[in-house]
Amino acid sequence: MAVGLSSKRSMKLHPLPVRIMHWLNALAMILMILSGWKIYNDEVLFGWLHFPEWMTLGGEAQGALQWHFFAMWLLMINGLCYLAYGLITGRFRRKLLPIRPREVLSDIGDAMRFHLSHADITHYNAVQKVLYAGIIVVIIVQVVSGWAVWKPMQLSELASVFGSFQGARLVHFIGMAAIVAFLVIHVVLALIVPKTIGAMITGGPQVRPSDPARTQTGSAD
Instruction: Give the domain ranges of the chain.
Output: 12-217
Residue type, 37: W
pTM score > 0.85 for this model?
no
What is the architecture, at CATH level 2, of domain 12-217? Up-down Bundle (1.20)
For residue 60, the model assigns a pLDDT of 84
Contacts of 217 (CB under 8 A, 6+ apart): none
For residue 20, the model assigns a pLDDT of 96
For residue 5, the model assigns a pLDDT of 40
List phi, psi (to 5°) of 206. Answer: -75, 135
For residue 216, the model assigns a pLDDT of 37
For residue 215, the model assigns a pLDDT of 39
Q: How far apart are CA 41 and CA 58, in angstroms?
A: 12
Q: For the chain, give the number of residues.
A: 221
E-only strand ranges, the chain? 11-12, 206-207
Residues in the chain where the model's pLDDT stays below 70 = 1-9, 114, 116-119, 209-221
Q: What angle do CA 136, 159, 169 make, to 5 degrees?
A: 65
Q: Which of 150, 192, 164 is nearest to 65 (CA)?
A: 150
Q: Which of 180, 143, 145 is nearest to 166 (CA)?
A: 145
For residue 118, the model assigns a pLDDT of 67
Q: How far apart are CA 175 and CA 169, in angstroms?
A: 10
